[in-house]
Amino acid sequence: MKDLKPVIGLEIHLQLNTQSKLFCNCPTQPGRLAWVKELLEKKGLEFEYLEHGLCLTCFDSARERNLSPEQIVKALVFASDGKPIIFLLPGDRRLDLKKAKEFLKSENLRPATPEEVLEFTGCIVGAVPPTIDGIKKIIDEKLLKNEKVSFNAGNHYSGIIISAREFLKSLDSFEKVDISSEEKLKEKFTENKSEKAPAIEDLPNSRTCPTCLGMPGSKPVLNEKAVEMGLKVALGLNCKINEEFYFSRKTYFYPDLAKNFQISQYEIPLGVGGELLLKNGKKIRIRRAHLEEDPAALVHEGGLHESNYCLIDYNRSGIPLLEIVTEPDLETPQEAREFLDALLNLLNYLEVFELGKNVLKVDTNVSIQGFERVEVKNVTGFKAVEDALKFEIERQKELIAEGKRQARETRGFEEASGKTKSLRIKETEEDYGYIFEPDLTKIAISKEKIAEIKQQLPELPEQKAKRLMKDFKLSEYDARVLASDFEIGKLFDQASKKIEARLAARFLTRELLAVLNYDRLSLKDSGISAEKIIQLLELLQEKKITEKAAKEALIKMAREKISPLEFLQKAGLTEKAGEEEIERACEQVIAQNPKAAQDFKKGEEKAFNFLLGQVVRRFKGKAEPRFVQKILERKLKK
Ligand SMILES: [Zn+2]
């Protein structure tokens, strides 16, 4: 029997990280726009950013962020003579209006109306962050008694955790006064929860308009930002860009696209004929990259099979998707996974996609060479793609072994059972009845515009790997590993300014990746800041700790969220005391072994190694031998 060789192609649909939809101005996210986070980053402050479930009270926020209510900064917007004032109080205190009026010498101080809050701050009531520039801010003294505080990042779903000192730095101006009530507020569980409805933009079908609801007569207007992002990806994949491209209507008779068609690209897409390299250097050809709109979300309350009805949330309808289609160049499920990793890395470099916030779905085409092809649709998650392919290849091989024919069909993947199931006999492209979209006639992009976008592309993984090899003389392996993870590559760039590059590369590619891979964490999710890793590398470089201790510290930093210095203290090796302790140990060992010390003075190498061993043993691997060696030599030569 001839060799049964799998042939795999992928179709990836990824949501582009735009602020508005593809053909209308509706926002793509419920106020999760991270402008507060970006503002703090721009100011160069150190803080933690956290996304979480809906929080409507300070008590909710405290729970979600694992803090106490007095640490939550309550930003109350007031008006006095038509001018806004923001009061910043601990979450468990009320504003003492009498004190506030006295301080401001204002009789007509009053809470701003919801409309005024929006006008003054651009935020909805309850989601105002303290960091609004250009407004008078008054901070209650009690708030600053906390070492750490936390506030809303401009919406009900995310927060900033920051030290009180950095917090003050985040404000363009402030005055510090005692303006809060003496008694503490208690959480009222009956506190009109139903009255405090979520902000309008958080509700289903709120981020919609006639266009994305498919109303007759509404017309699509192309979002240029989405086109630019799509172009960046296409260029990053080395695609040829079509200077003229078209949109088409694809027949789609399901309620999640109210128009009964999906606007997509068919005849002439954004880009064609690209490639992406796998880790081992294998080239995977890209057939095309095109833009299309995301359908709405179907909501089956209680589960697909249990629910008697289906709800539709059009908030998702019209979010820009980029579809990337590969040639069937992939040969194993493992390669498919590596391709997705490489693609995600490229997207991170290009900053057009944020995992967790934007969704990426994969359709796979898989066949055994010479036999009919099967499409497995809508697989979410890279591991699921690998599992679905593994199952499907085995299934097809068995069919062939039994002498049965594989029909051309579309299958679905059930993650729980790890099996694929037939959904329908596959449509051919003709079944979709594509026609040109008459409301979006020919889109033309000038050569200059393409050149401009190309020029603005950041350094991409391939280029980065080459630069690291050239500038730092790193091995190709280290350079490629560093470039294949955007976050770790960035960390290396920062570290190499202070740390010997090869030491940093070795530690990051081996120890750090081992710890992250073991816990299946990304650097971002691990919560270890770049600063702390660099601190650790400095200790290692100065030989204040051994590699073994550094690795141990790293594990503790990831799991127990401690800093390198805390680790040293716990291990009984404070940064400075480390040296003193070693000195003391050297003196003791010399005193206890006078003969060996004398032998050394006579020039016996062995005696020195014996003494060194004695000292090093006392520190159970926590002291760097070369550092001990230096101190011991110094002591012996005295
Ligand atoms: Zn819309």
Which SS3 state, helix, strand or coil, does residue 635 take?
helix
Lowest mean pLDDT, pick from 393-407, 424-438, 582-596: 424-438
Is the predicted pLDDT of residue 194 greater than 70, yes or no? no
pLDDT score of 578: 66
Is the predicted pLDDT of residue 304 greater than 80, yes or no? no
Ligand 1 centroid – CA 213 distance (Å): 7
Ligand 1 centroid – CA 42 distance (Å): 31
Distance CA 226, CA 263 (A): 14
What's the alpha-carbon Rg for the chain, to the nearest Å?
A: 31
Mean pLDDT of 315-331: 97
* Terminal C-alpha separation, the chain: 81
CA dihedral 567, 572, 575, 580 (to 10 degrees): -170
Mean pLDDT of 70-87: 92
Ligand 1 centroid – CA 364 distance (Å): 30
Ligand 1 centroid – CA 155 distance (Å): 21
Ligand 1 centroid – CA 223 distance (Å): 11
Q: Which CATH number fits domain 576-637: 3.40.50.800, 3.40.1280.10, 3.30.420.40, 1.10.10.410?
A: 1.10.10.410
Ligand 1 centroid – CA 574 distance (Å): 59
pLDDT score of 189: 60
What would the pLDDT profile of 573-631 be if each residue is shown by its tens digit?
A: 655 446 777 888 888 899 888 888 888 888 888 888 888 888 888 877 667 777 788 88
List the strands of the sheet with 73-80, edge to edge.
Answer: 110-111, 73-80, 83-90, 136-140, 175-177
Of 458, 270, 452, the residue nearest 346 (C-alpha): 458
| CATH superfamily to which 35-202 belongs | YbaK/aminoacyl-tRNA synthetase-associated domain (3.90.960.10)
pLDDT score of 202: 65
Distance CA 7, CA 326 (A): 12
Ligand 1 centroid – CA 154 distance (Å): 22
Ligand 1 centroid – CA 206 distance (Å): 10
In this structure, which residues have their CB less than 5 angstroms from ion ligand 1? Answer: 24, 26, 209, 211-212
Ligand 1 centroid – CA 242 distance (Å): 27
Ligand 1 centroid – CA 222 distance (Å): 12
Is the predicted pLDDT of residue 238 greater than 90, yes or no? yes
Domain ranges of the chain: 6-24+207-436, 35-202, 460-571, 576-637
Largest CA distance in the chain: 100
Bridge partners (DSSP) listed for residue 42: none
Mean pLDDT of 159-176: 92
Q: Which residue has the higher pLDDT, 115 or 66?
A: 66
Lowest mean pLDDT, pick from 118-122, 156-160, 337-341, 574-578: 574-578
**Fold match flag (35-202 vs 576-637):** no
Is the predicted pLDDT of residue 480 greater than 50, yes or no? yes
The tokens for 478 are 């280290």
CB 158 within 8 A of CB 32: yes
Give strand ranges (E) for 120-195: 136-140, 148-152, 158-163, 175-177
CB 124 within 8 A of CB 117: yes
What would the pLDDT profile of 588-598 be if each residue is shown by its tens digit?
A: 899 888 888 88
When the pLDDT of each residue in the chain is averaged and rounded to a whole number, the result is 88
Is the predicted pLDDT of residue 64 greater than 50, yes or no? yes
The tokens for 636 are 């012996």
Ligand 1 centroid – CA 293 distance (Å): 11
Ligand 1 centroid – CA 56 distance (Å): 27
Q: Which residue has the higher pLDDT, 601 or 419?
A: 419
Is the predicted pLDDT of residue 30 greater than 80, yes or no? no
Ligand 1 centroid – CA 218 distance (Å): 10
Lowest mean pLDDT, pick from 51-60, 359-368, 591-600: 51-60
Distance CA 302, CA 414 (A): 18
CB 27 within 8 A of CB 202: no
What would the pLDDT profile of 493-525 be if each residue is shown by its tens digit?
A: 999 998 999 999 999 999 898 888 887 788 888
Is the predicted pLDDT of residue 455 greater than 80, yes or no? yes
Lowest mean pLDDT, pick from 156-165, 288-297, 370-379, 422-431: 422-431
